[in-house]
Structure 1
């Protein structure tokens, strides 16, 4: 990469995130979003990989329940992986979020007080 490409790759800019849709948008008018973050391309890619992983786990859950609705795995066991990914996603969103995003995540009750610092 040339120096200008490096600067563009590491420059922070706003993105508009929908956790529910698993989307990270540059254009706030493109679709509904819940949170705003300021990240560089590397950080955006990191968040995108977590969304991809979350989507894959959701698909695996649907297949599991469709094939074995009365299987031996409990809902809690099946959901533990998804919950862990959501915690990781919200921690990054808090870290990179605007003040409004940080405030919203802090009031969601996902984390104990002081654990997001």
Structure 2
């Protein structure tokens, strides 16, 4: 029964994952299993933590963004999140993510 897919509504900006289309704002509609949602939630939590670290680090700008190795983790997490949304998303989500050019071409 855990392998049954359910509809979820996702907002990457806030890290929101909801089963209700009207509970909050959302950008992507996906179909996912409980395991897939757990994996997506972990990535969103990791992204949120990294954003806070980057916020504090930005106030001590001793290294430019493109030279700071910590940003590689953030960029990788964002790509993983959008990769999952692309795989699990409806056609509208896939089309929107494809236009963002955020994913490596071999994931599409």
| TM-score when normalising by structure 2 | 0.88
Q: Is 1:85–2:77 an aligned residue pair? A: yes
Alpha-carbon displacement from aligned partner over 1:13-46 (angstroms, at most 9, x marks no partner): 1100001111111011011100011001110000
**Which of 86, 93, 96 is residue 88 of structure 2 equivalent to?**
96
Classify 1:70/1:108 alpha carbon distance in 2 versus 1 (closer, same or farther; 3 Å).
Answer: closer
2:20 alignment counterpart: 27
4+ long deviations beyond 4 Å: none
Q: Is the contact between residue 82 and residue 103 of structure 2 (CA under 8 Å) also seen in structure 1?
A: no
1:92 partner SS? helix
2:40 alignment counterpart: 47
Alpha-carbon displacement from aligned partner over 1:47-69 (angstroms, at most 9, x marks no partner): 00000000110111122233xx2
Aligned mates of 1:48, 1:38 — CA distance in 2: 14
Which has the higher Rg, Structure 1 or Structure 2? 1
Count of residue correspondences:
106
1:75 alignment counterpart: 65
Q: Is 1:58–2:48 an aligned residue pair? A: no
Runs of 5+ unmatched residues, structure 1:
1-6
Across the aligned residues of Structure 1 and Structure 2, the Cα RMSD in angstroms comes to 1.5
Q: Which has the higher contact order (CA 8 A, sep 6+)?
A: 2
1:4 alignment counterpart: none
